[in-house]
Amino acid sequence: MPNILVLGGTIEATRLVAALAAAGLPATLSYAGRVERPKPQPVPVRIGGFGGAQGLAAYLRDNKITHLVDATHPFAATISANAVQAAEHAGTPFLALTRPPWTAREGDQWTRVPDIPAAVAALDGPRKNIMLALGRMHLAAFGHHPQHRYLLRLVDPPQTPPPLPDHHIIIDRGPFDADADAALMQAHDITLIVAKNAGGTGAQAKLVAARRLGIPVLMIDRPPLPDRAQVHDIAAVLDWITA
Ligand code: NAP
């Protein structure tokens, strides 16, 4: 019988464990512990870091994990690099469930930047009404540009106020809807969106809304990840496990 560990924190991981549970394949879902109220899941959940690649390798061995699936967010570069290394050390079969990046379509006005510091640098200039769709981890960096008004959409209320003098917080979690996102952008008179190129459907609504309203997007490219076996759909993960 397989014993699967899914590294999660994404809609794809949640969908994968639902499919594994439905197929009667034993799995554990692992969260970093960033979100305060994770949704109930149909499989056992463990929460918190493993202690680097070595800690994860020890977990794989100690818990006799037969399959490791990295279904974390494409910007979670540390855990993804650790997963590759740990699977190799422990000799555990490994697969990544990833999302293709978004690509600009006709009507999109994207400016691509390689990382968060480049996104911050690109915001030099006169005041704008910016929707900062990045999650709470990176808000502090944007304190370099206090001249803008920032609309922040976060999963949990921040424990300390963001260092942005003019901001408005909305607490909500995906998946989002393009009509609702367009209404939100209009209500806040948004003139620029800053987004990570996450890919997938859960957070795409803001890009559809931006295209419709002609709002430019500052798109942050993904961090580099090691070469690894990867698939884009849940059925392919199930095939790999049951092969
Ligand atoms: P990260 O920088 O790659 O990871 C930092 C550390 O957090 C890792 O070294 C690991 O600690 C721990 N960790 C990360 N994901 C874990 C998991 N699924 N289970 C157990 N430990 C985990 O990751 P991050 O960017 O902070 O993201 C953290 C989590 O949020 C990820 O699970 C990711 O899927 C989710 N998420 C991230 C983003 C994003 O934009 N980065 C967006 C949505 C969701 P140890 O070294 O101690 O093992």
Condensed to tens digits (0 to 9), the pLDDT of residues 36-91 reads 788 899 999 999 999 999 999 999 999 999 999 999 999 999 999 999 999 999 99
Q: Which of 87, 54, 90 is nearest to 69 (CA)?
A: 87
pLDDT of residue 201: 84
Q: Over 90: is that where the pLDDT of 175 sits?
A: no
Question: From the CA of 187, how far away is ligand 1's center (Å)?
Answer: 33
43, 64, 69, 194, 233 from 80: Cα distances, Å: 22, 20, 10, 24, 18
Query: Residue range 161-181: average pLDDT?
Result: 94
Q: Over 90: is that where the pLDDT of 237 sits?
A: yes
Q: For the chain, what is the mean pLDDT?
A: 96
d(CA 191, CA 74): 26
Question: From the CA of 32, how far away is ligand 1's center (Å)?
Answer: 5
Residue 174's pLDDT band (boundaries 50, 70, 90)?
Answer: confident
pLDDT of residue 217: 98
Question: From the CA of 219, how far away is ligand 1's center (Å)?
Answer: 21
Q: What is the 3-state secondary structure (H, E, C) of 53-69?
A: HHHHHHHHHHCCCCEEE
Domain limits of the chain?
A: 4-100+224-242, 110-220
Question: From the CA of 195, how far away is ligand 1's center (Å)?
Answer: 18
Q: Which of 4, 78, 136 to mutate to test the pocket of ligand 1 (most atoms within 8 A of CB)?
A: 78
The atom number, within ligand 1, closest to the CA of 13 reads: 34
Helices (H), the chain: 11-22, 52-62, 77-90, 116-121, 178-187, 205-213, 234-242
Q: Over 90: is that where the pLDDT of 6 sits?
A: yes
Query: Residue range 14-38: average pLDDT?
Result: 94
pLDDT of residue 137: 84
Which CATH number does 110-220 carry?
3.40.50.2000
The atom number, within ligand 1, closest to the CA of 72 reads: 34
pLDDT of residue 102: 97
* % residues pLDDT > 70 (the chain): 100
Residue nearest to atom 40 of ligand 1 (CA): 75
Question: Which CATH code, of 3.20.20.60, 3.40.718.10, 3.40.50.720, 3.40.640.10, is assigned to 4-100+224-242?
Answer: 3.40.50.720
The reply to whether ligand 1 has any atom less than 6 angstroms from the CB of 50 is yes
Is residue 77 within 8 Å of residue 178, measured between CB atoms?
no
Q: Which of 72, 172, 176 to mutate to test the pocket of ligand 1 (most atoms within 8 A of CB)?
A: 72
pLDDT of residue 55: 98
Query: Residue range 217-226: average pLDDT?
Result: 96
The reply to whether ligand 1 has any atom less than 6 angstroms from the CB of 143 is no
Q: Over 90: is that where the pLDDT of 34 sits?
A: no
pLDDT of residue 39: 85
